[in-house]
Amino acid sequence: MLRGLYTAASGMITEQRRHDTVTQNIANINTPGYKQVNSINRSFPDMLVSLMGDKQSGYAKRIGKLTTGVFAEESMSSFVQGDLRETGKASNFALMTSLSLNDPATGQPIPFDASGKYVSEDGEVIYRPEAFFAVMDNNDEVRYTRDGNFTVTANGELRTSTGQRVLNNQGNPIVLAQGQSLEYMQSDAQGNLFTYDDTGTRVDVATLGVSVVNRPQELVRDGNGVFRAKDPEAADIQPLPQQGLEGVQVRQGYLEGSNIDTAQAMVDLLAAQRAYESNQKVIQFYDKSLEKAVNEIGRV
* DSSP output for 245-265: BTTEEEEETEEEPP---HHHH
Q: Position 3: which residue type?
A: R
Q: What is the pLDDT of residue 56?
A: 55
Do 201 and 274 belong together in one domain?
A: no
Do 205 and 145 belong together in one domain?
A: yes
Q: What is the mean pLDDT of the chain?
A: 85
Do 20 and 127 belong together in one domain?
A: no
Do 158 and 9 belong together in one domain?
A: no
Q: How many domains does the chain have?
A: 2
Other CB atoms within 10 Å distance of the CB of residue 165:
20
Do 63 and 180 belong together in one domain?
A: no
Do 42 and 138 belong together in one domain?
A: no
Q: The domain containing residue 54 runs over which residues?
A: 2-76+261-297
Which residues are CB-neighbours of 292 under 8 A, at least 6 positions away?
Answer: none
Count the helices and strands in the chain (H runs, E runs). Answer: 3, 22
Do 180 and 288 belong together in one domain?
A: no
Do 167 and 272 belong together in one domain?
A: no
Q: What is the pLDDT of residue 180?
A: 81
Do 15 and 33 belong together in one domain?
A: yes
Do 98 and 177 belong together in one domain?
A: yes
Q: Using only the alpha carbons of the chain, give its radius of gyration.
A: 27
Do 248 and 283 belong together in one domain?
A: no
Once rounded to an integer, what is the mean pLDDT over residues 3-21? Answer: 86
pLDDT tens track for 52-107 = 555 555 555 665 666 667 777 778 888 989 999 999 999 999 999 988 888 777 77
Secondary structure element (H or E) that encloses residue 8, with its range: helix 2-27
**pTM passes above 0.85:** no
Do 51 and 192 belong together in one domain?
A: no
